[in-house]
Structure 1
């Protein structure tokens, strides 16, 4: 009897991120300032304590390829995070896109920032057209089975959080404008404050104690304030901190 080689896996036979385009000419234009700043704030404050930094991947406005039968189909979330996956593609390269059959790990959370042209699709209020790719809602809920899908409307400051329960999304009650995610040991909520010099409500991550996670700039400011207080205490004791 002849011995045959085992069949190749999709990862070995289907296009990789190097083969798939990172963008298409027909895609919409550059996002507005909010679509630039809000994902940046989410990235800067996303630090799940139960995952090392090298096993956390965060992206915004990056092609997400999801169907191994239709390798050119993709969605482009405003922001998403995957955990338990290498920060770098195959632990060596920055990603051009996120290809599910190559990564093997779906996003844990996806955030869409509503705009008038995408509102109905973002909220699952559009139907799939014949011979067309599935809608965002269908992809996140039924194909990728993303545990948490977040939708935020900056015009009304309305935050909606959908959690995957069994086979479908269930909207969480956000009486406090916060949603805790046990699998991340983090929560996401609405924070009133100034970011990039803009005072408004922003989406921001918080820890198990309910404290908003600081940005790198805020960490530096806190360290500077702590150093200044220590220097002042030393001077009160007659010690010049510059001589230490």
Structure 2
């Protein structure tokens, strides 16, 4: 009788046995929601395409992942929006310095638009599901709605590609219906919505600013490509 050699499974690789990036997020447990790669790219795209037609660029401040202090009586309380924009305030602090944070009792102007990018650790707070605990600071939703009274609040999930929009009406947020995936913001002369395209070499659904008519506000590199195409066309016509 011939004995066959025992069957043994090949050893598993570390890729199969060790935790993945989904098990080891780039966030400290005590500080949920710190930026991952998407939280770096998406706000930058919003910053590059935020060009309100009704405001001088020197009267617009855009904050990306910086502390926003909102309570004079509790000066250490803050929120940290993924992206927010203020209009009617100097681009530079007191006209000459880059901001380390945004301090409401010095600036005296609340953000006009806030965008939060959903993370597993911050989802309940972003969507207003968190209940304020006694002796603790107000929730994110309470700060945006009741203290800052931010006129437009957007929440975008890269996991479901869902964009939720809220307008501040008579003291509370009301859900705003999107048209063609966008929401018009008349005071800015802009609309904010979803765009399927390639940004920084990544093809996906992005959140991006449009004109009020729904045309894309071009990125600098898109402007350069369009200029080259116009120059080439002009040369061809001349020939």
Alpha-carbon separation, structure 2, partners of 1:144 and 1:29: 21
SS at match of 2:119: coil
Alpha-carbon separation, structure 2, partners of 1:151 and 1:125: 13
Alpha-carbon separation, structure 1, partners of 2:102 and 2:221: 28
Pairing 1:79–2:95 present: no
Partner of 2:134: 130
Quickly say closer, same or farther: Cα 1:119–1:205, change in 2 above 3 A.
same
Alpha-carbon separation, structure 1, partners of 2:186 and 2:213: 13
Deviations 1:81-133, CA, capped at 9 Å, x for gaps: 00011000000001000000111100000000001111011000010011101
Q: Any gaps of 5 or more consecutive residues in structure 1?
A: 1-25, 237-244
Pairing 1:93–2:114 present: no
Pairing 1:51–2:35 present: no
Quickly say closer, same or farther: Cα 1:30–1:171, change in 2 above 3 A.
closer
Which one of 151, 158, 162 corresponds to residue 158 of structure 1? 162
Alpha-carbon separation, structure 2, partners of 1:208 and 1:71: 38
Alpha-carbon separation, structure 1, partners of 2:33 and 2:182: 31
Alpha-carbon separation, structure 1, partners of 2:34 and 2:147: 27
Pairing 1:189–2:193 present: yes
Alpha-carbon separation, structure 1, partners of 2:137 and 2:224: 45
SS at match of 2:130: coil
Partner of 2:173: 169
| Runs of 4 or more consecutive aligned structure 1 residues displaced over 2 Å after TM superposition | 26-30, 231-234
Partner of 2:153: 149
SS at match of 1:91: coil
Partner of 1:200: 204
Pairing 1:104–2:112 present: no
Deviations 1:134-168, CA, capped at 9 Å, x for gaps: 11100000000000010001100010001000000
Partner of 2:44: 40
Aligned 1:19-34 pairs, distance under 5 A: 27-28=31-32, 30-34=34-38
Pairing 1:223–2:191 present: no
Which one of 63, 68, 73 corresponds to residue 67 of structure 2? 63
SS at match of 2:196: strand
Q: Bigger radius of gyration, 1 or 2?
A: 2
Partner of 1:119: 123
What is the RMSD computed on CA atoms of the aligned residues? 1.2
SS at match of 1:36: helix
TM-score, with normalisation over the residues of structure 2?
0.85
Number of matched pairs: 210
Alpha-carbon separation, structure 1, partners of 2:125 and 2:236: 57
